[in-house]
Chain A
């Protein structure tokens, strides 16, 4: 195993663990709890 492959495997492991931990705590940056500021998101944006 080359050094950079070892580093990459550690990086992959870190990412995988991080994602699993966020799953356990049910956290996501993409959850939709907060409504955008009123009046900004209605109607078509087509020009």
Chain B
């Protein structure tokens, strides 16, 4: 026998809130509430609206109509909003006292604040606003907030989906909140209220208090964007501290410095071979050796330098090279120059030991572009003098600069994003 699928659904009685089961949903038009006897028209969408309203009302931390005393005055909850931005959800309760007017009670992430609308507009000052002689500093960037639920009564037209641009300015625990809606600007002063006082006064339902939205994906790294305390200065400080600390450690790790130097005359057409620069001792398990070559004045020439670090104990050689070169000329854009008469060579992974440093050198000429030389450009000098100095314990500056770039990339990207957001 074929089983017929169930078409039952449940609704709440708009009159008493009792749960009613509509067994033939889609077919039934009316239903009597078995709790209060009301006749409910289940064919009308208003039933669903009423149901949604009841559920929304039940999800707020404070009930409409609740009364309590705050700051020595009695207040009644007459309206409630659920709002959110990119990361946070919170609830706002409109309080009313016939002699004092309206106030706000805001709860976000377990913290309660009491809000008073400002009648005088704070003045803009550098990095914040000034209100009644007190400066409040801007916290984060403006956020777009959205109203998710509305219940109760308000002194302005409010609806679900309303959006506002909100900014916050802080001084200690006190906050000035600015909201912009369609060019209209409102300011509210928010002061913290002890959660125990709220519990004693209004007895809120803790389970219905809003919680921070859990950030997901890339947002998990940007979870504090524009909302919580600005940690960007701390990021820059951490990056700066790490860069300096690493540089000091690198100086200590680099080890003792030992130098050797010589002067050579690099010939043309033939190679100066096996000229000994000096002897260097690597006293750490591993050290860098830097070889610096500085050519005397020359132009449109280059000198090839081949270095060999020969271990006195094993005879094994570590090879590297250097190139000093300098070119100049003139074209339609005017004079130009290229190259450098100085060349630094960094030799890495040199194990502990004593080494003899040898250099092979050969000079070359480069024909000048224009006008053609009156003399033979390939033999206009016999040699080029080059001073060579080598030292152990050199610092690998390239490593450190790479570290600095990687350290500062993250805070710089965040700064760029904020700047973009601020001017967009």
Contacts and interface: CB of A to CB of B under 8 A. Distances in A.
Interface of A: 1-5, 7-9, 11-13, 15-16, 19-20, 22-33, 35, 41-46
B399 interface: yes
A27 B399 CA distance: 9
Contacts of B364: 42
B349 A26 contact: yes
A23 B288 CA distance: 9
Contact of B253 (A15, A20, A35, A43): A20
Given A11-B410, A29-B398, A42 B338 contact: no
Interface string B330-348: 0100001011000001111
A16 B246 CA distance: 6
A31 B395 CA distance: 11
Contacts of A12: 238-239, 241-242, 407
B323 A28 contact: no
B234 A33 contact: no
Contact of B347 (A8, A22, A24, A32): A32
A45 B369 CA distance: 12
Interface stretch (B19-27, B187-195, B218-226): B218-226
Contacts of A19: 246, 250, 399-400, 403
B346 A28 contact: yes
Interface residues of B, number: 58
B398 A28 contact: yes
Nearest to B243: A16
B231 interface: yes
B327 interface: yes
Interface in B279-324: 284-288, 302, 306, 318-323
Contacts of B407: 12, 15
Contacts of A27: 286, 348-349
